[in-house]
């Protein structure tokens, strides 16, 4: 899964990215320092992994991961080539979701597009640039197919999208239309999570409540990530922080995309995987290896909570609690799955 981080310059994108990846991407007080996106792979925190590891004496544990792309700040006119323009936008066409960082901290040392804090205005500037970039793509396509009698339906669909985007609205699409538009990788249609980057201890501004939004203090998060694990844990206890902003961000991204986690266990190797909710065990097999999907025979399944309750895999097997499932069985959050398959080549 890939997630693109967008937002105006100097809103804290790279700071948050660094905190997420514990990386050291360049953080600057001036716009346009990032030409190539910073790309970081982040492990999805999951307490269940430690418990499972102990229970089944796993020797190797691989958490699920999310890839984050941090692109440079968009400015007004980016879609028309201002700043580094459209080149940035091209970098995030392929992501599955967008995290849109909004500046909610005031700091006179850090330049902003205007002296005042106006989160809604900022959001609208960025979203307009995304929409304009999309409109350009659609325009090109319309030009190409406008005389093709076989493309009438597509043309009609595109016209509807143009009409909404031009009004600054999102088009209302059904499943089929969404599918038909997939190939365009339209930025405006990507599921988006807004992140209010606030000063320490500050609330999310009320005007942002209409968005799907979480509040984070990027600076604090990145400073905490610099601490050794032990000190960080201690700080959390002292400050009564139950969940780090970063963990919340990852959890919310999961929800936004309708993702669940399943586990595999093979020869003492424990691994967590992400899957779209509602998919079946055969599709889960495909996440692991295409051979497993093609040659799928059956799956042995037990849910995490049942395994923890029973205490061991062998006991679960004895009690008949390892279910044998065919391809159509839906995967549930926390299922531990062993795929039986034959090689088709
Ligand atoms: N006061 C304050 N400064 C921040 C915060 N987050 C980022 N900054 C500062 O803002 C500047 C720009 O941050 P950066 O992450 O590079 O912004 P980007 O352009 O969106 O990638 C840096 O000097 C950061 O230290 C915050 O929550 N509070
Ligand atoms: Mg940056």
**Which CATH code for domain 259-341?**
3.10.20.30
Best of 26, 27, 35, 199 for a ligand 1 pocket test (most atoms within 8 Å of beta carbon): 27
Using DSSP's 3-state secondary structure scheme, residue 162 falls into helix
Instruction: Say which ligand is closest to the CA of 19.
Output: 1
Nearest ligand 1 atom, CA 31: 19
Q: Which atom of ligand 1 is nearest to the CA of 109?
A: 23
Tell which one of 4, 9, 10 to mutate to probe ligand 1, the residue whose CB is within 8 A of the most ligand atoms: 10
| Number of the ligand closest to the Cα of 72 | 2
Q: Where are the domains of the chain?
A: 259-341
Least distant ligand from the CA of 35? 2
- Which pLDDT does position 241 carry in this prediction? 82
Residues in the ligand 1 pocket, defined by CB under 6 Å: 7, 9-15, 27-29, 73, 105, 107, 110, 197, 199, 217-219
Query: Residues 321, 269: contact at Cβ < 8 Å?
Result: no
Give 39 Cα–ligand 2 centroid separation in angstroms: 12
- CA dihedral sign of residues 19, 21, 22, 25: negative
Sheet containing strand 192-198, strands side by side? 38-43, 65-70, 2-6, 97-104, 192-198, 213-216
Q: Who contacts 62 (Cβ-Cβ below 8 Å, separation ≥6)?
A: 269, 270, 271, 272
DSSP three-state, residue 67: strand
Query: H or E segment at 156?
Result: helix 152-166
How much is the pLDDT for 187?
92
CA 343 and chain centroid, separation: 33
Distance, in Å, from the CA atom of 21 to the CA atom of 191, rounded to the nearest integer, reads 22
**For ligand 1, atom 12, which residue shows the shortest CA distance?**
10
Residues in the chain, pLDDT under 50:
29-34, 83-84
Could you tell me which of 79, 85, 76, 195 has the C-alpha nearest to residue 130? Answer: 79
CA of 11 relative to ligand 1 center, distance in Å: 6
For ligand 1, atom 5, which residue shows the shortest CA distance?
219
Rg of the chain's alpha carbons, rounded to an integer? Answer: 23
pLDDT of residue 87: 64
Q: Ligand 1 center to residue 213 CA distance, Å?
A: 19
- What pLDDT score does 23 carry? 61
Q: How many CB atoms lie within 10 A of CB 242?
A: 9
Please write down the long-range contacts of 286-291, taking CB distance under 8 Å and 24 or more positions apart.
288/264, 288/339, 291/341, 291/343, 291/344, 291/345
Ligand 1 atom, smallest distance to 16 CA: 15
Give the pLDDT of residue 120: 95
Say what the pLDDT of residue 89 is.
75
């Amino acid at each position: 899964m890939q997630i693109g981080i967008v937002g105006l310059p100097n809103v804290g994108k790279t700071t948050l990215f660094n905190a997420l990846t514990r990386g050291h991407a360049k953080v600057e007080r001036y716009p346009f320092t990032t030409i190539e996106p910073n790309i970081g792979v982040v492990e999805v925190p999951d307490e269940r992994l430690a418990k499972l590891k102990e229970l089944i004496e796993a020797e190797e544990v691989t958490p699920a991961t999310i890839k984050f792309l941090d692109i440079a700040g968009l400015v007004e006119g980016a879609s028309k080539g201002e700043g580094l323009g459209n080149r940035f936008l091209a970098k995030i066409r392929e992501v599955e979701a967008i995290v849109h960082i909004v500046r909610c901290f005031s700091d006179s040392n850090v330049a902003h597009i205007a002296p005042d804090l106006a989160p809604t205005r900022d959001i609208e500037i960025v979203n307009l640039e995304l929409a304009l970039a999309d409109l350009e793509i659609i325009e090109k396509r319309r030009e190409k197919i406008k005389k093709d009698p076989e493309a009438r339906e597509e043309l009609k669909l595109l016209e509807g999208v143009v009409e909404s985007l031009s009004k600054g609205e999102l088009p209302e699409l059904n499943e089929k239309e969404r599918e038909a538009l997939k190939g365009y990788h339209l930025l405006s249609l990507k599921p988006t999570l807004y992140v209010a980057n606030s000063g320490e201890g500050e609330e999310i501004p009320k005007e942002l409540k209409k968005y799907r939004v979480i509040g984070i203090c990027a600076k604090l998060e990145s400073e905490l990530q610099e601490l050794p694990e032990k000190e960080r844990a201690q700080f959390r206890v002292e400050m009564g922080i139950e969940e780090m902003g970063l963990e919340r961000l990852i959890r919310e991204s999961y929800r936004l995309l309708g993702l669940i986690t399943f586990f595999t266990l093979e020869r003492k190797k424990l691994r967590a995987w992400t899957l779209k909710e509602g998919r079946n065990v055969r599709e889960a097999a495909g996440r692991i290896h295409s051979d497993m999907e093609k040659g799928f025979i059956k799956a042995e399944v037990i849910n995490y909570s049942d395994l923890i309750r029973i205490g061991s895999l062998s006991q679960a097997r004895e009690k008949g609690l390892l279910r044998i499932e065919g391809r159509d069985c839906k995967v549930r959050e926390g299922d531990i799955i062993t795929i039986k398959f034959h090689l088709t080549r």
